[in-house]
Amino acid sequence: MALKPSLNLSQSQNLSLTPQLMASIKMLQLSYIELAEFVENELEQNPLLERDEKDSEENKNKDIEFEQNHLKTQTLDSAKNIADDFDTDVANIYPEQVGQDSISQSTSLMNSTSPNHGESADIDSYVAAKLTLSDHLWEQVVLILDEPSQRLIARFLIDSLDESGYLSSDILSIANQLGTEESHILDILKKLQGCEPIGVFCRNLSECLAIQLKALDRFDPMMAGLLDNLDLVMKHDFILLGKTINASSEDIKDMLAELRDLNPKPGQVFDVSSAQTIVADVFVKQGNDNNWLIELNSETLPRVLVNRTYFAKIKQKIKDKGEKAYLVDCLQSANWLTKSLDQRAKTILKVASEIVNFQGDFLKHGISHLKPMTLKMVASEIEMHESTISRVTTNKYISTPRGLFEMKYFFTSALSSSTGVSEHSSETVRFWIKQLIDEEKIKAILSDESISKILKEKFGADVARRTVMKYRENMKIASSVIRRRQKKALLLE
């Protein structure tokens, strides 16, 4: 059969993700801070987008407040002028103005030197930058070390510190990398270990504590023995520790008290990472008829409008095809953004409403009534895909009478019930395990097997011993052996 070219028509269906659709999907999982930054960029780039009138009204109020402060400043200046005419101090004529003239003078100076020509000065430009651990240490290095080669090694050691102030690289590898002797690195390291904050440039916890104790002149052979056996301290095996370092229980108590006053992570005092305040995206409260009222937090919802009047006005004046195409793209982009923001808000409200409907018992009675819930269960109820539910619940918080929770908190796996009536949430089982351990007595420390039996008998939760151990370790709760030693140590204190 001969091969020859031919033209054929065929129909097919496929789903393609447009850039706008991908952006809409991405917008679902943005937190309110990330969403605000995204909208701000769109406002800067798109001339057809503008803020809602409510935001403009807030800006007007700020302008009025600024004018009032400006008038007050002028009044303060006039008070000083009057005092100068009488050749006396302001305090003698206007006692209530004491301390205010300096404010007015500094305000006038800031306004006169401001590059904004009459606008209020940007306070951020007057805030000092936070000093980092690296900068703080380098300021001390230039005073401690004179030779350029030593400063070079010190700079490398500073860059090798982690956020806690520990030296993360091996001394031998540093020596090989810099082409020098290991003893030379150790000599410089010993000098650097005297820098503030005391304890930095250490290689492990024992050395960190030893450096601080030496600075306090509290380092002796018995304390050195304790630092060499910190594993026994972590296990609370104080009997074996006392035999190992030849110390009495009173000596161990005194040394442990000294260690508690030290800082195991000295570098973190220069942690410049700012804590981000968590703001609820949804508020839930109980109404008068005992129904749950669900409301979106308006502060987390950017409000933008499409200026169609401006579009119609500009469109009449534009004749270039390229400019017309750009204006149409801006209009489409603005329409897409407003619709996407509205759809995002509605989706969050739908998901939050379904969570509240399903977890009503938790809101009324607490964590012991938290039901197992999956993304699939919510997705089927509101007829959305599981991936959409996952994106919506990421970095979204809901404020309830029980506290502030991330939406993902309510999605927990199910553990079978011994009675077969209902399943138990894994988060509820964790709560029961922690409650049992907190209430245990020193003469009746519960093993994982014992906890498993109690969960089955008391709560009807069929939880295996290995599951109890996994949950306990996830909550960073020690084993029964270590907990017994910890409680005995508390009795000694």
Q: Quick check: is 311 in a domain?
A: yes
d(CA 270, CA 389) in angstroms, rounded, equals 39
- What total of structural domains would you count in the chain? 3
385, 410, 435 - which closes a domain: 410
Q: Quick check: is 151 in a domain?
A: yes
Q: How far is CA 171 from CA 183, 184, 186, 434, 477, in A?
A: 9, 10, 8, 43, 35
Phi-psi label, residue 366: left if phi above 0, alpha if psi -120 to 50, beta otherwise: left
270, 300, 321 - which closes a domain: 270
One domain for residues 312 and 363: yes
410, 444, 460 - which closes a domain: 410
One domain for residues 293 and 209: no
One domain for residues 406 and 431: no
Residue 279 neighbours by CB under 8 Å, 6+ apart: 32, 297, 299, 300, 397
- Taking the CA atoms of 162, 164, 168 and 174 in sequence, report the sign of the dihedral they define: positive
Q: Quick check: is 38 in a domain?
A: no
Q: Quick check: is 235 in a domain?
A: yes
One domain for residues 251 and 319: no
The structure tokens 């030593």 sit at 150
One domain for residues 153 and 254: yes
Q: How many CA atoms lie within 13 A of 303 on its CB side?
A: 11
One domain for residues 396 and 487: no
Q: Is 258:219 a contact under the CB 8 Å cutoff?
A: no
One domain for residues 154 and 240: yes
- Taking the CA atoms of 97, 102, 103 and 105 in sequence, report the sign of the dihedral they define: positive
DSSP three-state, residue 17: coil
Joined tokens for residue 392: 């919506």
Helix ranges, 197-320 (H): 205-215, 221-228, 230-234, 238-245, 249-260, 308-317
One domain for residues 320 and 235: no
pTM greater than the 0.85 cutoff: no
Q: Quick check: is 75 in a domain?
A: no
One domain for residues 209 and 301: no
Q: Quick check: is 261 in a domain?
A: yes
List per-residue pLDDT tens for the chain, 493 residues long: 567 787 878 787 766 666 777 777 888 888 888 898 999 999 999 898 888 765 545 545 544 554 455 444 444 444 455 445 445 554 444 444 444 443 334 333 334 334 444 444 454 444 455 778 888 999 999 898 888 888 989 999 999 999 889 998 889 989 888 888 889 999 999 999 999 999 999 999 999 999 999 999 889 999 999 999 998 888 888 888 889 999 888 888 888 889 989 999 998 887 655 556 788 999 999 888 878 899 999 888 888 888 888 888 888 888 888 888 888 898 888 899 999 999 999 999 999 999 999 898 888 888 878 888 889 999 999 898 988 899 999 889 999 998 899 999 888 877 766 555 557 788 888 888 988 998 888 888 889 898 988 888 888 888 888 988 988 888 888 888 888 877 776 665 5
Q: Is 395:280 a contact under the CB 8 Å cutoff?
A: no
Range of the domain at 210: 133-270
d(CA 283, CA 279) in angstroms, rounded, equals 10
Q: Quick check: is 83 in a domain?
A: no
One domain for residues 338 and 445: no
One domain for residues 139 and 187: yes
Q: Quick check: is 16 in a domain?
A: no
One domain for residues 242 and 358: no
